[in-house]
């Protein structure tokens, strides 16, 4: 079908409530797009093939952004590998196939930098895909995302579709997941240091409000927090003296290097890709390479440096300790973003500023 995206085009954003999808929705609305289609999980179960097909038949979206996925950090990937591979394979298969069946003009599939080999040359180019073994800790999720890329490419080659796959680096921003068991490294770090700051101030009520909003605090961590801020039961007595330097324990050695991109920058990049002309994107659609584009900033820092930056933003004054007995994951992951830069896009948000905005968003929900 011809490319004719305009502000009244019907665009379906799958997964609009998560970190990625909500950023996409904000960006689309900010640019003036008026015909946006969304469904909550309760309204449309994307793992249900018949329901997805019925939705596409009824709504007939012209463009699709597939941001719906089961995501999580190292702990979640290790604990629920079956759900990570099954749910993601089923969701993307249902949506991509229905998009083809109902003549969607253009589809953008969102993946992750974990698709690249564990020991890929750094920075990682799109050509690194399938050139070596994956990081074991998130292999099921990565394989599902690789299958989604292959599916987009296969439909392009067989049916002449124009489906693209965008691979963002580690994302953070408004509406992030702060569950300490299932979140990614940056939101988990923000919350841990916020809780430690509350403990430092003896704010038991604040800790309880945080837990009610952002999920259960692991029992061992909560016990440590409460020990640091125990109040004297007498109502007219001030909180007991607190440790001057409460200790926050973070997973791993602190030496791995990671790249982080603010979610609104990611959304801007995705919409930029969706809006480009056929001629500008022509090099993505061929029989030699998948229609794959990295989205990132091309800069990284160590996990220890990240923790120190988060502590500065949050206002935590205590000690940071790293548990070397916990897994580090891949030692370095940074995207080569020359392809999307050559198309004319670059990020705008600096990391410290983005962390500050994310922290304020987290606090606003408590």
- pLDDT at residue number 343: 96
What are the tens digits of pLDDT across the range 162-201? 999 999 999 999 999 999 988 889 999 999 999 999 998 9
- pLDDT at residue number 252: 93
What are the tens digits of pLDDT across the range 284-307? 999 999 999 999 999 999 999 999
Look at residue 24 and tell me whether its pLDDT is greater than 90: yes
Q: What are the φ and ψ backbone dihedral angles of 21, each rounded to 5 degrees?
A: -65, -40
- Ranking 18-27, 182-191, 263-272 by mean pLDDT, the lowest is 182-191
Report the distance separating Cα 301 and Cα 313, nearest Å. Answer: 16
- pLDDT at residue number 243: 44
What are the tens digits of pLDDT across the range 3-19? 689 999 999 999 999 99
Question: In Å, how far are 44, 45, 189 from 39, measured between CA atoms?
Answer: 6, 9, 31
What are the tens digits of pLDDT across the range 114-126? 999 999 999 999 9
Nearest to 337 by CA among 251, 266, 234: 266
Look at residue 1 and tell me whether its pLDDT is greater than 70: no
- pLDDT at residue number 236: 45
What are the tens digits of pLDDT across the range 319-352? 999 999 988 877 888 999 999 999 999 999 999 9
Mean pLDDT of the region 207-225 = 94
214-245: burial string, b at 16+ Cβ within 10 Å, e else: beebeeebbebbeebbeeeeeeeeeeeeeeee
How far from each other are the two terminal CA atoms of the chain, in whole angstroms? Answer: 46
- pLDDT at residue number 37: 98
Nearest to 195 by CA among 229, 162, 156: 229
Residue 126 is given by DSSP the state G
- pLDDT at residue number 219: 94
- Ranking 23-32, 234-243, 309-318 by mean pLDDT, the lowest is 234-243
3-class state of residue 282 by DSSP: helix
Contact status, residue 47 vs residue 94, Cβ threshold 8 Å: yes
Q: What is the mean pLDDT of the chain?
A: 92
Mean pLDDT of the region 224-252 = 62
Question: In Å, how far are 47, 135, 152, 327 from 140, measured between CA atoms?
Answer: 17, 10, 19, 17
Look at residue 234 and tell me whether its pLDDT is greater than 50: no
What are the tens digits of pLDDT across the range 99-155? 999 999 999 999 999 999 999 999 999 999 999 999 898 899 999 999 999 999 999
Q: What are the φ and ψ backbone dihedral angles of 96, each rounded to 5 degrees?
A: -65, -45
What are the tens digits of pLDDT across the range 158-172? 999 999 999 999 999
- pLDDT at residue number 330: 76
Rg from Cα positions in the chain? 22
- pLDDT at residue number 246: 64
Is 172 a residue of the active site?
no
283-322: burial string, b at 16+ Cβ within 10 Å, e else: ebbeeeebbbbbbbbbbbeebbebbebbbebbebebebeb
Question: In Å, how far are 126, 178, 190, 211, 278 from 226, measured between CA atoms?
Answer: 47, 20, 19, 13, 58
Report the distance separating Cα 254 and Cα 250, nearest Å. Answer: 8
Q: What are the φ and ψ backbone dihedral angles of 336, each rounded to 5 degrees?
A: -85, 115
Q: What are the φ and ψ backbone dihedral angles of 262, each rounded to 5 degrees?
A: -65, 140
- pLDDT at residue number 73: 75
Q: Say which of 141, 172, 178, 359 is annotated catalytic.
A: 141
Going by C-beta distance under 8 Å and a sequence separation of 6 or more, which residues neighbour residue 296?
113, 168, 169, 259, 261, 334, 335, 337, 347
């Amino acid at each position: 079908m011809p490319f004719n995206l305009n502000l009244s085009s019907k665009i379906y954003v799958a997964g609009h409530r998560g970190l990625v999808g909500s950023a996409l929705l904000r960006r689309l609305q900010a640019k003036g797009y008026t015909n946006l289609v969304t469904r909550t999980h309760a309204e449309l179960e994307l793992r249900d093939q018949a329901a997805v097909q019925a939705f596409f038949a009824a709504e007939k979206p012209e463009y699709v952004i597939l941001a719906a996925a089961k995501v999580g950090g190292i702990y979640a990937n290790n604990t629920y590998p079956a759900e990570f591979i099954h749910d993601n394979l089923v969701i993307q298969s249902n949506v991509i196939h229905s998009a083809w069946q109902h003549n969607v003009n253009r589809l953008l599939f969102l993946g992750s930098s974990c698709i690249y080999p564990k020991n890929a040359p750094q920075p990682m180019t799109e050509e690194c895909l399938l050139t070596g073994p994956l990081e074991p800790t998130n292999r099921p999720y990565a394989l599902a995302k690789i299958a989604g890329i292959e599916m987009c490419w296969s439909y392009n080659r067989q049916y002449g579709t124009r489906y693209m796959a965008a691979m963002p680096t580690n994302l953070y921003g408004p509406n992030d997941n702060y569950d300490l068991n299932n979140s990614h490294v940056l939101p988990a770090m923000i919350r841990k240091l916020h809780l430690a700051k509350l403990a430092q101030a003896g704010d038991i009520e604040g800790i309880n409000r945080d837990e009610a909003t952002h999920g259960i605090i692991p029992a061992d961590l909560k016990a440590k927090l409460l020990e640091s801020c125990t109040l004297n039961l007498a109502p007219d007595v001030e909180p007991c003296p607190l440790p001057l330097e409460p200790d926050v324990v973070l997973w791993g050695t602190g030496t791995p290097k990671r790249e982080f991109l603010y979610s609104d920058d990611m959304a801007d990049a995705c919409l930029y890709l969706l809006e480009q002309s056929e001629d500008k994107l022509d090099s993505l659609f061929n029989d030699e390479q998948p229609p794959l584009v990295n989205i990132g900033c091309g800069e990284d820092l160590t996990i220890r440096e990240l923790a120190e930056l988060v502590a500065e933003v949050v206002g935590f004054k205590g000690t940071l300790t790293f548990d070397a007995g916990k897994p580090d994951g891949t030692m370095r992951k940074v995207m080569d973003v020359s392809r999307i830069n050559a198309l004319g896009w670059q990020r705008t948000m600096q990391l410290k500023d983005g962390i500050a905005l994310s922290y304020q968003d987290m606090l606003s929900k408590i």
